[in-house]
Amino acid sequence: MGYIEPAPIKDKENPFESMMSRFNIAADALGLDEEVYNVLKSPAKQVTVSLPITMDDGSIKVFEGHRVVHSNILGPSKGGIRYDMDVTIDEVKALAAWMTWKCAVVDIPYGGAKGGIKCDPRSMSAGEIERLTRAFTAQMAEIFGPDRDIPAPDMGTGPREMAWLMDEYSKIQGMTVNAVVTGKPLVLGGSLGRTEATGRGVMVSALSAMGKIGLIPSQATCAIQGFGNVGSWAAKLLTERGVKVIAVSDLSGAYVNKNGLDIDECIEYRNMNNGTLEGYKNADHIPGDDILYLDVDVLVPAAKEDVITVQNVEKVKAKLIVEGANGPTSAKADAIINEKGIMVAPDILANAGGVTVSYFEWVQNRLGYKWTAERVNRRSDRIMKDAFDRVYKTSKEYNVPLRIAAYILAIDKVAKTYKYRGGF
């Protein structure tokens, strides 16, 4: 595939266009007919609400919230809710579609959705965030539902917000409905194993991919960008399987130790240090972005979107990229990555461990039963491993990179289901 220099070079791609460019390549490879293409590219439902909230000082501030259901062809839609000043309907649309493909890749019976409220939760009190969450839930009561649309945490939200959402929804229904949302606190029906699930799925994907390109875990080195939930769990679990994690990074920069970092010590340091590695001593400190260019076998971007772009991809030396974050590689960088022969375990596959265990949470809520952590981990490992194998097989069949193979697999599944169900 030839590389075409885009003009003008943009640092940040429109996330919807970025998703659509991969979708289009996969739809072409699959020979998707135009009618189904049109069905799958258009979100099923987009709802925007305005949320007037009484602030602590007595003033009323109006927030804007969105929920986009991209697809409910495979089942109820699933996707997080983010609280962030950068929330736009375009971003929510892209993330909702991503969820459709992600659920289809790992073969769980969900469609895709996403929600967001444009706000800065760091500048709001707990009471203000609670009122905002309850107002959003009330406005979306017709959309949400354990058999309709199941939200989850995303950027700026967590178990606390999910508990408020569950409570408000339950009040409206006149009964406790804990399966309406996942990512709840354990006492409210959250699942064991959810906290580490995404990092664990990254580990399973990384080991599966390493097996395909002849990298032996005990001889392989790894660098991980982002040391939050996903990055730190991936680092810990990869280390436990013999991979030498020589660098990790967060907003304070990157920390390198050629002999391998003591990940448990890094996690403990971060936990005692306000969530950051700043000042960590048993490693060399280098500028944060330089972690992407280290001479390692495996690179795990697990921080944010658009970190590997046409502007820096030439400098990446890793043989394998395992995308812990959503959208860390810009669509325009794909061609160069492929030319360089780097294998990429794409986000919709590699970070699907989280949604898989969210699905288990929903299953347990509906069963009224709790699984052990061991059962959760065993089942999610199997789902992730099987998904990797299916994507790999599809990539060989169509002679395409894993990312396009993952889209092919997902689009094919949703398209076939649509054809069976039929439209109007």
What is the closest distance, in whole angstroms, from the C-beta atom of residue 55 to ligand NAD in the complex?
26
Look at the block and give the residue holding tokens 């949302």: 181
Active site residue 340: no
- Which candidate, 398, 303, 293, places its Cα nearest to that of 28? 398
Which of 42, 273 has the CB closer to ligand NAD?
273
Beta pairing partners, 115: 67, 81
For the window 249-268, what string marks contact with ligand NAD as x by the rule CB under 6 A?
xxx-----------------
List the one residue from 116, 346, 354, 401 that touches ligand NAD (CB under 6 A).
354
Q: What is the number of the residue whose Cβ is closest to ligand NAD? A: 228
List the one residue from 111, 121, 217, 324 that touches ligand NAD (CB under 6 A).
324
DSSP string, 78-143: EEEEEEETT--HHHHHHHHHHHHHHHHHTT-S-EEEEEEEE--GGGS-HHHHHHHHHHHHHHTTTT
Answer positive or negative: Cα dihedral of 163, 164, 169, 175: positive
- Which candidate, 310, 266, 317, 311, places its Cα nearest to that of 292? 317
Which of 116, 324 has the CB closer to ligand NAD?
324
**What's the burial of 424, exposed, middle or buried (CB within 10 Å: 0-12/13-18/19+)?**
exposed
Q: What contacts 316, CB < 8 A, 6 or more positions away?
A: 292, 293, 299, 308, 337, 340, 342
- DSSP letter at 329? B
- DSSP letter at 220? -
What is the closest distance, in whole angstroms, from the C-beta atom of residue 45 to ligand NAD in the complex?
22
- CA atoms of 53 and 61, how far apart (whole Å): 5
- Which candidate, 291, 279, 269, 286, places its Cα nearest to that of 222? 291
Helical axes 402-421 vs 15-30, angle rounded to 10°:
70
For the window 223-252, what string marks contact with ligand NAD as x by the rule CB under 6 A?
--xxxxxxx-----------------xxx-
Which of 67, 134 has the CB closer to ligand NAD?
67
Q: Is 408 helix (H, G, I), strand (E, B) or coil?
A: helix
- The reply on whether position 306 binds ligand NAD by CB under 6 A is no
- The reply on whether position 198 binds ligand NAD by CB under 6 A is yes
Q: Which stretch binds ligand NAD (CB under 6 A): 24-32, 62-70, 158-166, 323-331?
A: 323-331
Q: Which stretch binds ligand NAD (CB under 6 A): 5-13, 299-307, 402-410, 414-422?
A: 299-307
Which of 134, 270 has the CB closer to ligand NAD?
270
What is the closest distance, in whole angstroms, from the C-beta atom of residue 349 to ligand NAD in the complex?
11
- CA atoms of 148 and 152, how far apart (whole Å): 14
For the window 36-55, what string marks contact with ligand NAD as x by the rule CB under 6 A?
--------------------
Question: How many residues of this chain bind ligand NAD (CB under 6 A)?
Answer: 20
- The reply on whether position 166 binds ligand NAD by CB under 6 A is no
What is the closest distance, in whole angstroms, from the C-beta atom of residue 288 to ligand NAD in the complex?
4
Beta pairing partners, 225: 249, 301
For the window 103-122, what string marks contact with ligand NAD as x by the rule CB under 6 A?
--------------------
* CB count in 10 Å sphere of residue 9: 10
Q: Cα angle at 156 between 150 and 161, to 5 degrees? A: 50
What is the closest distance, in whole angstroms, from the C-beta atom of residue 191 to ligand NAD in the complex?
12
Q: Which stretch binds ligand NAD (CB under 6 A): 124-132, 135-143, 202-210, 297-305?
A: 297-305
Q: Is 51 helix (H, G, I), strand (E, B) or coil?
A: strand
- The reply on whether position 351 binds ligand NAD by CB under 6 A is yes
What is the closest distance, in whole angstroms, from the C-beta atom of residue 339 to ligand NAD in the complex?
25
Q: Which stretch binds ligand NAD (CB under 6 A): 66-74, 235-243, 300-308, 391-399?
A: 300-308
Annotated catalytic residue within 78, 93, 102, 114: 114
Q: Which stretch binds ligand NAD (CB under 6 A): 54-62, 210-218, 321-329, 414-422?
A: 321-329
SS3 per residue for 138-169? HHCCCCCECCCEEEEECCCCCHHHHHHHHHHH
What is the closest distance, in whole angstroms, from the C-beta atom of residue 53 to ligand NAD in the complex?
24
Write the CA distances from 153 to 16, 113, 264, 271, 337, integer angstroms: 21, 12, 26, 21, 31
- The reply on whether position 303 binds ligand NAD by CB under 6 A is yes
* Residues designated as active site: 114
Q: What residues line the site for ligand NAD (CB under 6 A)? A: 198, 225-231, 249-251, 288, 302-304, 324-326, 351, 354
